[in-house]
Structure 1
Amino acid sequence: MSKLYRMLAALVILGTVSLSASATNYSLWINGRTGGGQIGNYNSFTYWGPAGTAAGINKKAVNWDGRGHIADQNYLVREALDCFCTGNNWCYIAAHSAGDLMLGYTLANYGGSSRLKKNATPNSAGQCGNTDGSSQVGWNIKWVDIAAGAAGGSELADIGNINEPLAQDLKTTTARALYDHNNTRNTWFYMYAGASGTVYSAVLPGQDDEVVAYHSSGGVSGSAGAGFCNPADWFCNDLTMGTAVNEGGRAKWSKHSVQFRDDNESFNHYSQGNWGGIISVVRTDMVNHAN
């Protein structure tokens, strides 16, 4: 899906919601492994960087512990989506690493459920009150930006001995079987894949950002990972841009489009406490287009 088409689609949605004077847009940021932000506090951006940094309209941090099983921590994401993405309100969403797995799981398993419309005024636990008692199916989401997506898992989890529930979920075959990755409830996932790997990431096939390989950060389908690279690498199949089938014939998941491929191998996996790495590219896109 091209950037122009994406912008036109957003304008159509904006024109629709503008019929209601009370409509508000929000930019939700869903963290990955290790967490760090205060759970229930949508203004706590510790995981990402300084809270004062621009990161899309009305930005909110959707904090979960970054250690527990996706299924166990998922209620926190659902509460945030209920708060800010129901009724007349709409959301842009950015997610990093395991936040991709978390959001995909949420939409596939709960995106068709009935949700009470909320007032976007959270209490200290991060829960919002009802508006008029009416409900809707799923959430109002315009599109999703994914930095270093781990919905395809990581080979580091495959070989690791970390006694942590999330690490078990991040095994490549487990992550890919956790939910139907093709069922995004018609929400577009725009993938941003970093390629600034290092020596210890040799276990990761193809191009990688030190933690996840292109097969995951590029939204490549299948029951297991495979090696995908930049076009300059002659010894590996290319990760293609957009929704195009990758070199070698492996397709991307439905509604997944590679928006950025790190051809210059400049961006690693980490925020570095300052919206760094591949997150910086997503943040720029959110500033420019989440409005």
Structure 2
Amino acid sequence: MDFSPLLHADGWITLATLSALEIVLGIDNIVFLSIMVERLPKRQQPFARRVGLLLALGMRLLLLLTISWVMGLKATLFTVFGHAFSGRDLILLFGGLFLVGKATHEIFDKLEVAQEEESESDTKKRSSLPSVIVQIMLLDIVFSLDSVITAIGMAQAISIMVIAMVIAVAVMLIFAGRIGTFINRHPSMKILALSFLILIGVVLIADGTGQHVSKGYVYFAMAFSLAVELVNMRLKLRQQTPVQLHNRYEKIPGVEARPATGEG
């Protein structure tokens, strides 16, 4: 690996810019990761979070070292209604559909599933660590593809791309736990995070079907929504107790699950 580009100022500027972009692109990963690990017991959540981010790094580096294959994903596989679909398009399309479906299901589960109607049998349905890791890994492929293509477009040196990705994942490792805790502590923030996932999913679907949507607009909308919600929390949090979202995997204080009766 050639590190000579780092001997010049241009190399460091490219590294700083690419690292910042990779961190921004990693926001999608952190939001999805925070939602998924919540389905695990608290003692397993930090481990799942670290494994998920390390898998994201591994996926990015693997794709980066197979640049020719990644660029080959842009080759046309088939055409539907005049639009040529490539391997990249299919990955983005199915990844977007998965995100929209997953986020919609999570919102339903948080708001519509009555806590008192859950029984001990629901604990058997708790997500296992391997199943959560597999779902994280599948979405890592989608997010990593976008990240790697961005890196290839910005930098020519593999060394700069690798260092930028390592820096971005290191930053995510430091802040992912705090971000996840903050999201899970505030019900409105949790619903907002799920709404972000739906928005990201729609953007992936649009991109996969040839309708490009500038990420700048998307991130501005997310940042503006987050700022408004932080102001709301600042003004109203002290005045009233926030509602509790349903969570079949965690007992809510003051709410007892109805015991199983064994009746059909």
TM-score by length of 2: 0.22
TM-score normalised according to structure 1 size = 0.21
Which one has the bigger helix percentage?
2
- Structure number with greater CO (CA < 8 Å, separation at least 6) is 2
Decide which structure has greater strand share.
Answer: 1
